Amino acid sequence: MKVSKLIGFADLIVEDAPGKRVLLMGNEAIARGAIEAGVSVAASYPGTPASEILETLALAAPKLGFHAEWSVNEKVAFEVAAGAAITGVRALTSMKNAGLNWVMDMFMTLVYGGVRGGFVIAVGDDPDAHYSSNEQDTRFVAFYGEIPCLEPADSQEAKEMTRYAFELSERLELPVLVRSVTRICHASGDVKFGKIEKPERKPVFDRHWKLPWRWNVYGPPGPVEKHRWLHGQMPQMKKLVETVPWNKLVLQGKPTFGIIASGIGASYAREAVKMLGLENKVAFLKLGTPTPLPEQLVERMLKSVKSVLVVEEGEPLVELQVRGLAKNVNPDVKLLGKLTGTMPPVGEINTDIVAHALAKLVKRKLPADRPRELIKDEIKDLVAPRSSTLCAGCPHLGSYWALNQALRKVGGKVPIVNGDIGCYEQGGYAIAGKEYKPSFSTESVRYPIEAPYETLDTNYIMGGGVGLMQGQFQAGYKDGAIVGVAGDSTFFHACIPAVINAVYNKVKGVFLVMDNAWTAMTGHQPNPATGITAIGEETKLLCVEDVAKACGVEFIRTVDPFDLKATTAAIEEALKSDKFAIVVARHVCTLQAQRQKKFVGKRMIFDRDKCTGCKLCVSFGCPGIIFKEGKAGLDPILCNGCGMCAEVCPTGAIRVEG
Amino acid sequence: MAELNLIIAGVGGQGSIRASHIVGIAAIREGLRARVGETFGSAMRGGAVASHVRIGKGVFAPLIAKDGAEIVLALELLEGLRNAVKFLAKGGLLLTNTRAWMPVDVNIGRAEYPSLEAIKGAVEKLGAEVVAIDATSLAQQAGNVRTMNVVMLGALAGTGKLPISVETLKEVVQENVPPKTIEANLRAFELGFAVIKK
């Protein structure tokens, strides 16, 4: 979710006003850190919770004269930034947790030789999977690639660390990973500005800079020697992290108990300590570099106390390393954290969780209001669930309606619909208020669909659906039609090789591309289907059909999903075809159309007497349709008059005026 | 004032995040420390949204602890209840819009939307106060239904529980709404303020 940038924000974010205090979201603070460091090239692909980093940089780029782009995917973005850093300028790439998976090939190889200009990889992790398909902890990637990871505890640190990350990157000649989490990325805090550097570096190129064949991993002395070089950077890295201001040990008096807390874990732990009145009674090591660890600081802590609680967001990366260090320094110290079950192994942490773990360990009681908890149990059934939905008048509603209609007619017994990532992934979010039971059938099973949110059978990652459908076909699945869906941005991001593969390997199936011209889910960023760049310049508009045709696809139909009949007919025809068939359902995102004042709402009429309460309109899934006391209705505030539901209504109770 | 913990809850698209940023910016303008943490579902619109606004010296974490909010400001009734049950402190205030945004779960008959009376009763049982206003109608009266979040900010200011001056808050509202809607937003603020003051 994005809050459209405040008026004057673009001027504010480039203001060279050291000492000025402003409220910045963690992502904006990361962008400001890069601005202060004089970044020359920034590239990204949108992904919640990291999108606002590049969005903010794109606002600043035209004002400061650097390059910011939405790349077609994270891998390309990473390479764009890495290519710039090889020429000695400062570069940043940003992405969500899953985005980092896309860049792993280049990541693991680029580190064999590193960079010349500062190269910062800013990653937004998402513990609790608020908007992600997994909870992966990308700090491990820094460990894996033998590069430093910086982990901020708040917006101010996010800015300072990003700025410092460029310096650190240049000292080590290696990329530096800045790992934040949703509660940093999307939390705002007061940030004090620093000075904006303008390095005005000239990009240079030297093939043998400090190492022969520096930028060509196969060039002599070859990958193994380059790996040795990478490994050789570690002692310097470890030395530097001992003195960075974000690693801080507080040892007052003779505490027997200590806390090691990394990143945002330190913010929660500080409040938990306060909640329990333990200020100055516990040793506290706040970490800003979970890898490499400031080993001397950790060892001092381990030598001084009897037990230590490790607080970190994600997997036990710090905890595992601390265990290793404790073995040599103080094998008797009791280490507690995720590995001991003291802290939860999944989900995100918060002040309450840390306080409870801490209270148990120091044998203190947190104030509890038992009678109030019992009242809460009584009233919790009142709190109705709220499943997330597509927007009122969303073109995807039309596409899903048509798809489900067509599948009912010609989709066979048990069709499979493979989903993908974008707004339309809500086609698989299902209904929170409904109970779904596991099935142990040995045959294919078809389930009723009460709302479009129950359409998608599979859904994993960007571009995953169009690949999975091919495997289902090649396995010989015959119980029903095989369908994949994706959006425009996802098509360009990840689907093109899979489309070529489908044609090459003679797959039969339907690929529905829902083209709304924007990367809408992450807050309306432009992409090749939009025809504008990150900084708002016009560019060539790429057309899904043209690309599909060039990939060898022979069956291509284009429809307007607001026209339910035509869309259903096109999908039906595709389902009957014996080819790999692409249907492009194209209609601009309704929110965008409204923002650009191009959306023309129709006057809708609802005739209560004609409504039979059949609920067909409700199953269309539009939040503008309500159902009360046995009859449907239109919410006058949410309904924007797209008119699609009038086509759904079989009795004429919902009509378009005129 | 030691600390203020405020939750602004609603449904995606109602402007709860914008409202929370307005409060956060106003706090910083008055020299206070602020944190605004957002919690919301994956969707652009239609999902449950809550912003945690924390003002005060000892504030580090972006999230309010359980039972730790002095005020829950709800742009949507059910979301007010959802957050009050989890976060509202004993003696706290649920200030809510009376208008319902029906969840799809309710529409398809898989859940029931609680009545205002039931919600009031439940929150009062928890030892907290409930003040409910028809902010959506007031926003329409102000000339733009989308100013509902600012009606609620006006109402919040009207309670006198914010450690921020009304003038600063109004100033930040003006700076953070589309220029064409400034007048409607200021009217909305005044309407919300007045309805509480009465």
B105 → closest Cβ in A270, A375, A384: A384
Residue A363 contacts residue A553 (beta carbons within 8 Å): no
Residue type for position A603: R
- How high is the pLDDT of residue B111? 95
Q: What is the CATH number of the domain that holds A578?
A: 3.40.50.970
Alpha-carbon radius of gyration of chain A: 27
- Tell me whether residue A370 is in a domain: no
- How high is the pLDDT of residue B42? 47
**DSSP at A462:** T
Average pLDDT over residues A332-339: 97
- Tell me whether residue B22 is in a domain: yes
Instruction: Say whether B176 and A7 touch across the interface (CB within 8 A).
Output: yes
- How high is the pLDDT of residue B44? 54
Tens digits of residue pLDDT in A44-71 = 999 999 999 999 999 999 999 999 999 9
Asked if the C-beta of B196 comes within 8 angstroms of chain A's C-beta atoms, the answer is no
Q: What is the CATH number of the domain that holds A611?
A: 3.30.70.20
- Mean pLDDT over each residue of chain B, to the nearest integer: 93
- How high is the pLDDT of residue A499? 98
- Tell me whether residue A542 is in a domain: yes
Domain end marker among A183, A218, A240: A240
Instruction: Say whether B44 and A521 touch across the interface (CB within 8 A).
Output: yes
**DSSP at A602:** P
Residue B52's domain spans which residues? 3-100+113-133+165-175
Q: Output the pTM of the full model.
A: 0.97
Tens digits of residue pLDDT in A544-556 = 999 999 999 999 9
Asked if the C-beta of B45 comes within 8 angstroms of chain A's C-beta atoms, the answer is yes
Nearest C-alpha of chain A: how many angstroms from B25? 6
Asked if residue A4 has pLDDT above 70, the reply is: no
For residue A2, what pLDDT band results from cuts at 50, 70 and 90? Answer: very low
Tens digits of residue pLDDT in B5-23 = 999 999 988 999 999 999 9
Tens digits of residue pLDDT in A146-193 = 999 999 999 999 999 999 999 999 999 999 999 999 999 999 999 999
- How high is the pLDDT of residue A367? 80
> Both A205 and A344 in a single domain?
no
- Tell me whether residue B90 is in a domain: yes
Average pLDDT over residues A2-27: 85
Average pLDDT over residues B141-153: 97
For residue B2, what pLDDT band results from cuts at 50, 70 and 90? Answer: low
Cα distances (Å, whole numbers) of residue B186 to A538, B76, B152, B196 = 36, 21, 12, 16
- A-facing residues of B in 152-181 (CB < 8 A) are 175-176, 178-179
- Tell me whether residue A379 is in a domain: no
> Both A142 and A43 in a single domain?
yes
B24 → closest Cβ in A23, A380, A385: A23
Rounded to whole angstroms, the Cα distance separating A61 from A535 reads: 8
Strands (DSSP E) found in A275-368 = 283-287, 307-311, 334-336
Average pLDDT over residues A324-333: 96
Q: What is the ipTM of this complex?
A: 0.95
Instruction: Say whether A1 and B12 touch across the interface (CB within 8 A).
Output: yes
> Chain B interface, mutation test: which of A270, A276, A284, A382, most B Cβ atoms within 10 Å?
A382
- How high is the pLDDT of residue B40? 64
Tens digits of residue pLDDT in A367-399 = 888 899 999 999 999 999 999 999 999 999 999
- Tell me whether residue A378 is in a domain: no
A130 neighbourhood in chain B, CB within 8 Å: 39-42
Asked if the C-beta of B85 comes within 8 angstroms of chain A's C-beta atoms, the answer is yes
Chain centroid to Cα A372, Å, comes to: 37
- Tell me whether residue B60 is in a domain: yes
> Both A44 and A98 in a single domain?
yes
Chain centroid to Cα A627, Å, comes to: 34
A625 neighbourhood in chain B, CB within 8 Å: 107
- Tell me whether residue A106 is in a domain: yes
Asked if the C-beta of B125 comes within 8 angstroms of chain A's C-beta atoms, the answer is yes
Chain centroid to Cα A332, Å, comes to: 41
Q: Give the chain B residue whose CA is nearest to the CA of A638.
A: B101
A355 neighbourhood in chain B, CB within 8 Å: 65
Instruction: Say whether B42 and A383 touch across the interface (CB within 8 A).
Output: no
Residue type for position A376: K
- How high is the pLDDT of residue A196? 97
Average pLDDT over residues A21-36: 97
Strands (DSSP E) found in chain B = 3-11, 34-40, 48-56, 69-74, 88-97, 129-133
Residue A641 contacts residue A655 (beta carbons within 8 Å): no
Q: What is the CATH number of the domain that holds B43?
A: 3.40.920.10
> Both A76 and A115 in a single domain?
yes
Rounded to whole angstroms, the Cα distance separating A515 from A518 reads: 8
- Tell me whether residue A388 is in a domain: no
Rounded to whole angstroms, the Cα distance separating B30 from A389 reads: 39
Rounded to whole angstroms, the Cα distance separating B180 from A55 reads: 24
> Both A104 and A235 in a single domain?
yes
> Both A495 and A610 in a single domain?
no
Pull the structure tokens for residue A87: 């020429």
> Chain A interface, mutation test: which of B45, B76, B117, B119, most A Cβ atoms within 10 Å?
B45
A626 neighbourhood in chain B, CB within 8 Å: 102, 107
Closest of A409, A518, A403 to residue A457, by C-alpha: A403
Percent share of chain A, pLDDT over 90:
95
- How high is the pLDDT of residue A389? 93
- Tell me whether residue A376 is in a domain: no
> Both A230 and A281 in a single domain?
no
Asked if residue A1 has pLDDT above 50, the reply is: no
Domain end marker among A361, A380, A410: A361
For residue A253, what pLDDT band results from cuts at 50, 70 and 90? Answer: confident
Asked if residue B3 has pLDDT above 90, the reply is: no
Asked if residue A10 has pLDDT above 90, the reply is: yes
Instruction: Say whether B45 and A391 touch across the interface (CB within 8 A).
Output: yes
Q: How many CB pairs under 8 A join A and B?
A: 206
- Tell me whether residue A161 is in a domain: yes
- A-facing residues of B in 22-41 (CB < 8 A) are 24-25, 28, 33-41
> Both A327 and A406 in a single domain?
no
- Tell me whether residue B106 is in a domain: no
- Mean pLDDT over each residue of chain A, to the nearest integer: 96
B9 neighbourhood in chain A, CB within 8 Å: none
- Tell me whether residue B64 is in a domain: yes
> Both A349 and A406 in a single domain?
no
Instruction: Say whether B36 and A1 touch across the interface (CB within 8 A).
Output: no
Q: Give the chain A residue whose CA is nearest to the CA of B20.
A: A188
| Domain total of chain A | 4
Q: What is the CATH number of the domain that holds A307?
A: 3.40.50.920
Dihedral (CA of B175, B177, B181, B183) sign = negative
> Both A297 and A177 in a single domain?
no
Asked if residue A658 has pLDDT above 90, the reply is: no
| Domain total of chain B | 1
- Tell me whether residue B41 is in a domain: yes
Nearest C-alpha of chain B: how many angstroms from A331? 33
Q: Give the chain A residue whose CA is nearest to the CA of B53.
A: A188
Tens digits of residue pLDDT in A449-504 = 999 999 999 999 999 999 999 999 999 999 999 999 999 999 999 999 999 999 99
A23 → closest Cβ in B34, B39, B109: B34
Nearest C-alpha of chain B: how many angstroms from A49? 10
> Both A646 and A536 in a single domain?
no
B124 neighbourhood in chain A, CB within 8 Å: none
Asked if residue B43 has pLDDT above 50, the reply is: no
> Both A349 and A466 in a single domain?
no
Instruction: Say whether B62 and A187 touch across the interface (CB within 8 A).
Output: yes
Asked if residue A236 has pLDDT above 50, the reply is: yes
Within 8 A by CB and 6+ apart from A218, the residues are none
- How high is the pLDDT of residue A3? 44
Instruction: Say whether A385 and B40 touch across the interface (CB within 8 A).
Output: no
Dihedral (CA of B72, B78, B79, B81) sign = positive
Residue A549's domain spans which residues? 395-432+446-595
A350 → closest Cβ in B44, B63, B178: B63
